[in-house]
Structures are given as structure tokens and as C-alpha cells.
Amino acid sequence: MQTDVNSNADILKAIMGSYPTGVTIITTEDVEGKPAGLTANSFVSVSLEPLLVLFCVDARAGSLKAFRQAGRFAVHILAEDQNEVCWRFSSREPNKFDDVEWSWSERRLPILPQSLGLMECQTVQTVEAGDHTIFIGEVVHIEKTDKNPLLYFRRKVGSIPPNWFE
């Protein structure tokens, strides 16, 4: 049975929204020296040798130009208590870093504290794929805390349910 492309896109969105993932905030510096960032759940590990990760940015994202020009980015794996910052960075708010705790790293990347994990990366490749750009980066600095992740499922975020592992 053949369906039109638009209904296929709706079906794909429904399927992917029902696929639980972790949540990240990706940050960089724009050409004016200001922090830029977005929330992304399209993040994966690519390689262990060398350490490579990737994330995808929608062509309509206001921060796409900054990621293309910077050549570097930081990935924050969000902890279960970071739902407010998750929604802030997923909005179209132009000043996402206002009223958010952050600082510059040694590699001149905006860093959000309290994340489960942090990876600072050098962009090694970009790939245009449909209505997104894929950024592949080599991890040049990494940190981990002992926290639980923030999860995304059916357009909501939350923590791992109690007794999940019992």
C-alpha cells in the first residue's frame, strides 16, 4: 500500500517520539563571541578509535550558522534534574543563556554545569542530509558525574522510573 510523503513523515515522527532517548544540550560560540546552543536528542557515539560523536541540527535552527562556523562544540548529557534547561534550549528564545548558569571552558566553549556528562569536541566533518546537517566531532575533553540521565519520550522529559533495574 502506498501512502503520501506527508503521512509517512507524520508516522515517522510518531514512531520516533515513542522511542525513548537521552537528552543533550549542544553549545558553541558564534562569530560575535556569544554563546549559542540547542537541545538535541539526535546524538550518538560513532567511534571509540578515535572518539567520535555526532548530532543533527535542523536547517531551520537559529544556531545552525554558529555550529557551522565555530568548528567545535560541547555536548552536555543532561541529568534528570535539568528539565527546565532542556526546555529553555529547545525553545526559539534568542537569549537562551540568560538566567542560566554557564561559563567558558579552556577551549572557549559555553559549559553548563550539573550535567551527567560533558564532551568538548572538534568538528571533523559535516554532512548535509535532507533537512538537517550532521555534525561529527572528535572528543578532545570528557567529564562524567554520578547522576541519572534525563529521558525524552512522547514529547515529555523525565527521569528513569523507580525500580526500573530491579
- Alpha-carbon dihedral of residues 19, 20, 21, 23, nearest 10 degrees? 120
Q: Which parts of 18-156 fold into alpha helices (H)?
A: 64-70, 83-90
pLDDT given at position 78: 96
Residue 148 lies in a domain: yes
Could you tell me the CA-to-CA distances from 89 to 31, 146, 158 in Å, in that order?
19, 23, 16
The predicted-structure confidence for 87-131, as pLDDT tens digits, reads as follows 999 988 888 999 899 999 999 999 999 999 999 999 999 999 999
Residue 160 lies in a domain: no
Residue 149 lies in a domain: yes
pLDDT given at position 65: 96
The enclosing domain of 47 has a CATH number of 2.30.110.10
What are 128's strand-pairing partners?
A: 133
pLDDT given at position 11: 83
Q: How confident is the model at residue 3 (pLDDT cuts 50, 70, 90)?
A: low
Q: Which residues form the domain of 27?
A: 21-154
Q: Does the pLDDT at position 134 exceed 70? A: yes
Residue 139 lies in a domain: yes
pLDDT given at position 1: 43
Residue 2 lies in a domain: no
Domain count along the chain: 1
pLDDT given at position 5: 55
Residue 29 lies in a domain: yes
Q: How confident is the model at residue 75 (pLDDT cuts 50, 70, 90)?
A: very high
The predicted-structure confidence for 23-41, as pLDDT tens digits, reads as follows 999 999 999 999 999 999 8
Residue 164 lies in a domain: no
3-state secondary structure of 74: strand
Query: What's the average model confidence in pLDDT over 57-83?
Result: 95
- Euclidean distance between CA atoms 64 and 37, whole angstroms: 9
Q: Of all helices (H) and strands (E), which one includes residue 9?
A: helix 5-17
pLDDT given at position 46: 96
Residue 96: half-sphere exposure toward Cβ, Cα within 13 Å: 26
